[in-house]
């Protein structure tokens, strides 16, 4: 029984790679298997032997349109899930999402402001990233300034920050030009990976890598933080410092994800639960599993978003339509791996 489960768990780790390959073929533009192989050989030969790769439509679709988008989906899904599972651990609450400290609404406001003022793709990304981090810093400083301690004040501070940025976002929408800017804002807020290019991936890769690496290395310590402050202290942990490191890293990767994809809900909430059902609550196994399941889940949803209708369906809509019923089903099964 144990061996069987162990093997299945190992197989799950290969899922993102399998999905990556499958996703290259999925889409409105039909590409036969042989074309992908041809193009791959083409690219490798141009890389290693210096022969010039012919730029066909197929090549453009596969490697300039689909591949960056697939990679972005994998990265965004992995990041949101890692942040979600980490926040759930340190807030000792399995219903916490990566946006708990107002990161989502902060980033949303930053992006909307950039659309209103400059409408440059790069600046939208930068502003979303910066305001996501800003929201977290305001929430943390607010909780530090208050007399109360612990996670409850932090969550309340996050709510305050979130609602201020929601109001500001509404203000920006109200001021925006209804024919040009407003649709761009609304579209961005619903989340999409349709316009991702390779160069966009470069900007997010570094913060995502650093944040995820630190969380991965600290994953066993999240178990101890989830026991509560007093017990963690009695086990020799510097609770405030450890919690701050984890919050900063989780916010870093959430902001990076939001900056290229917009605000995508439910992934960071549902994926940790699916992962808990597979490997149990121990973060040593849970965090890596969340990375893998998160990447796979996001890629599947993005494949759906570009194939089920003639026009793109925004990702945020699909993740909610898929995530919410899935969560309800998990609740009904009552095997969520928490009390």
Partner 1 sequence: MELMLEVKSLSFSYGNGKVLENVSFSLKKGEIICILGPNGSGKSTLIKCIAGILKPDSGSIHILGKDTASLGAGDIARHIGYVPQQNEVVFPFSVLDFVVMGRAPHLSMFASPGADDIKLAKESLAMVGISDLAERPVANLSGGQNQMVLIARALVQKPALLLLDEPTSHLDFGNQILVLETVQRLASLGMSIVMNTHMPDHAFLVGDRAAALAGGRLVAVGKVETVVTSKMMSSVYGVNVAVREIEDMKRKVCLPLRR
Judged by the rule CB under 8 A, the positions of this chain that interact with partner 1 are 89, 92-94, 217-221, 223-224, 226-228, 230-231, 233-238, 276, 280-282, 284, 337-339
Report the C-alpha gap between 280 and 274 in whole angstroms. Answer: 10
Please provide residue 147's backbone torsions phi and psi, each rounded to the nearest 5 degrees.
-75, -30
Query: Least distance from C-beta 134 to partner 1, angstroms?
Result: 28
The smaller minimum CB distance to partner 1, of residues 9 and 320, is found at: 9
Find, among 289, 278, 293, 272, the residue nearest to 88 by Cα. Answer: 272
The nearer residue to partner 1, 29 or 338, going by C-beta atoms, is 338
* C-beta neighbour count of 137 within 10 angstroms: 14
Query: Toward partner 1, which CB reaches closer, 152 or 186?
Result: 152
CB of 291 to partner 1, least distance (A): 16
Would you say 277 and 330 are in contact if contact means Cβ atoms under 8 Å apart? yes
Cβ closest to partner 1, residue 180 vs residue 231: 231
Count of alpha carbons within 13 angstroms of residue 170, beta-carbon side: 6
Q: Which is nearer to partner 1, 66 or 221 (CB)?
A: 221
Shortest separation between residue 148's beta carbon and partner 1, angstroms: 12
> Could you tell me which of 132, 117, 258, 237 has the C-alpha nearest to residue 191?
258
Minimum CB separation of residue 192 from partner 1 in Å reads: 34
Q: Closest Cα partner for 190 from 311, 83, 84?
A: 311
Minimum distance of partner 1 from residue 95's CB (angstroms): 11
């Amino acid at each position: 029984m144990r061996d069987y489960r162990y093997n299945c768990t190992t197989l799950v780790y290969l899922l993102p790679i399998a999905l990556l390959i499958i996703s290259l073929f999925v889409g409105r533009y039909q590409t036969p298997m042989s074309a992908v192989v041809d193009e791959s050989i083409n690219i490798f030969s141009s890389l290693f032997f210096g022969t010039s790769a012919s730029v066909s439509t197929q090549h453009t679709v596969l490697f300039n349109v689909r591949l960056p988008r697939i990679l972005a989906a994998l990265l965004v899904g992995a990041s949101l899930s890692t942040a979600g599972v980490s926040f759930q651990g340190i807030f000792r609450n399995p219903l916490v999402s990566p946006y708990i400290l107002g990161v989502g609404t902060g980033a949303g406001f930053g992006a909307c402001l950039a659309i209103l003022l400059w409408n440059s793709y790069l600046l939208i990304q930068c502003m979303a990233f910066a305001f996501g981090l800003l929201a977290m810093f305001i929430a943390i400083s607010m909780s530090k300034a208050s007399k109360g301690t612990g996670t409850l004040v932090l969550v309340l501070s996050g709510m305050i920050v979130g609602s201020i940025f929601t109001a500001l976002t509404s203000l920006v929408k109200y001021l925006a030009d209804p024919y040009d800017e407003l649709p761009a804002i609304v579209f961005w807020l619903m989340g999409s990976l349709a316009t991702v290019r390779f160069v966009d991936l470069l900007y997010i890769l570094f913060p995502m890598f650093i944040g995820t690496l630190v969380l991965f290395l600290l994953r066993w310590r999240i178990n101890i933080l989830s026991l509560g402050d007093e017990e963690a202290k009695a086990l020799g942990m510097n609770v405030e410092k450890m919690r701050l490191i984890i919050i900063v890293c989780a916010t870093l990767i959430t902001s990076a994800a939001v900056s290229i994809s917009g605000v995508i809900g439910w992934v960071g909430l549902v994926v940790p639960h699916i992962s808990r059902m597979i490997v149990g609550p121990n973060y040593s196994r849970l965090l890596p599993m969340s990375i893998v399941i998160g990447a796979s889940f996001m890629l599947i949803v993005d494949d759906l978003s570009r194939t089920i209708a003639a026009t793109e369906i925004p990702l945020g809509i699909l993740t909610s339509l898929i995530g919410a019923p899935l969560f309800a089903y998990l609740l009904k099964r009552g095997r969520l791996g928490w009390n």
